[in-house]
Amino acid sequence: MTDDAPPPVDQHARVVVIGAGQAGLSVGYHLRRLGLTPGNDLVLLDRAPSTGGAWQFRWEALRLGAAHSVHDLPGMNAMGLRFDDADRSRPARDVVGEYYRRFEQHYDLRVRRPVSVSSVSRVDGAEKLCVATRTADGGTARIAAEIVVNASGTWGTPFLPWYPGRDVFRGRQVDTTEYRSAKEFAGQDVVVVGGGTSAIGFLLELDGVAARTRWFTRRPVVWSEAPALDVESAVAAVDEQDRAARAGETLPSIVSGTGVPVSRRIRAGLDRGVLRESPMFTRLDETGVVTADGEHVHADAVIWATGFRADLRHLAPLHLRTAAGGIVVEDGRSVDEPRLFLAGYGPQASTIGANRAGRRIARQVMDVLAAS
């Protein structure tokens, strides 16, 4: 081997799926049904320590149906499992983790975890992509794949906007992934930033626990009096996600296009005055935030519930990122790298969208394999 030769490949696979959340498991299930063997020609990788995708990291107080929902994986009904029948008194993270574990075992998907993907790159002179991985104990491996399906989601890349003074604020700052329990903020003045369901959930949980809360959003929150997301708004939001993906733009927030359904719990929060947003502050200082009209709001902690970006860092060696900040994707497939599919990206970002896309992507993958 010459000095500039690439390291040897440890395994050859027909398809590698990166991520075992809703989208990754859906694709894996359909690929198995279409004839690929998990662990051999189909390899599923997940960086998380356990089953459940991003749900395993969510805060203890979150319950299914409170503000978030999750749709059944394909094939769950055949197992006698339905999230609609799940125990809503249990933490959502425990329920989803248990159901996903049973799903993976039932369909023998053989997910490898915890395995993080450090890079996906092209192999010179070969019609394959190389997936470089790292395990928790520092072990590394390289898998050559004819097709890579990226289903890495967004949980690993929370978006924290920059505001002047963020680096001088002496209180605690946490993002959505770091929030564990309202009890950590007992008796404190807490500023919550963000206009989505996570921010709303935090405010409702902090009510009566924190000394005071104050809510700031970049734009006014649009409340939908329908207790569930209406079809017209959902379709419009998905269409906008699809347009952005095809244009290679940074994907917009789903909530900004649909509004927030007013459940009974949210209605009670609105009536109590807990959910009353203020226009975004202009800066932070050592002890709080300062609004545009000069009001100083004391804060012991700031919770940045400001959304996420697609976790695509490991795809950087493919040089697919556009000047607009995204990757050009049409019907789940990269336009500039046809051996790469992106599941749960853009119009597939919702749990029901990820399910439906799983079957479509799996069929496209099998068509590509058949033609190669």
What pLDDT, in 10s, does the model give residues 69-104? Answer: 688 999 999 999 999 999 989 999 999 999 999 999
What are the residue boundaries of the structural domains of the chain, listed by start?
A: 11-156+309-371, 172-225+262-304
Per-residue pLDDT at 242: 65
- What SS3 string covers the chain? CCCCCCCCCCEEEEEEEECCCHHHHHHHHHHHHCCCCECCCEEEECCCCCCCHHHHHCCCCCCCCCCCCCCCCCCCHHHCCCHHHCCCCCCHHHHHHHHHHHHHHHCCCCCECCEEEEEEEECCCCCCEEEEEEECCCCEEEEEEEEEEECCCCCCCECCCCCCCCCCCCCEEEEHHHCCCHHHHCCCEEEEECCCHHHHHHHHHHCCCCCEEEEEECCCCCEECCCCCCHHHHHHHHHHHHHHHHHCECCCCHHHHHCEECCHHHHHHHHHCCCCEEECCCEEECCEEECCCCCEEECCEEEECCCECCCCHHHHHHCCECCCECECEECCEECCCCCEEECCCHHHCCHHHHHHHHHHHHHHHHHHHHHC
Per-residue pLDDT at 248: 72
11-156+309-371 and 172-225+262-304, same CATH topology: yes
What does pTM read for this prediction? 0.87
Residue 289 has pLDDT above 70, yes or no: yes
Q: CATH: 3.40.50.300, 3.40.50.970, 3.50.50.60, 3.10.290.10. Which one for 11-156+309-371?
A: 3.50.50.60
- pLDDT tier at 230, thresholds 50, 70, 90: very low
Lowest mean pLDDT among 61-70, 159-168, 267-276: 61-70
Spell out the CATH class of 172-225+262-304: alpha beta
For residue range 163-184, list pLDDT tens digits in order: 999 999 999 999 999 999 999 9
For residue range 105-152, list pLDDT tens digits in order: 999 999 999 999 999 999 876 789 999 999 988 899 999 999 999 999
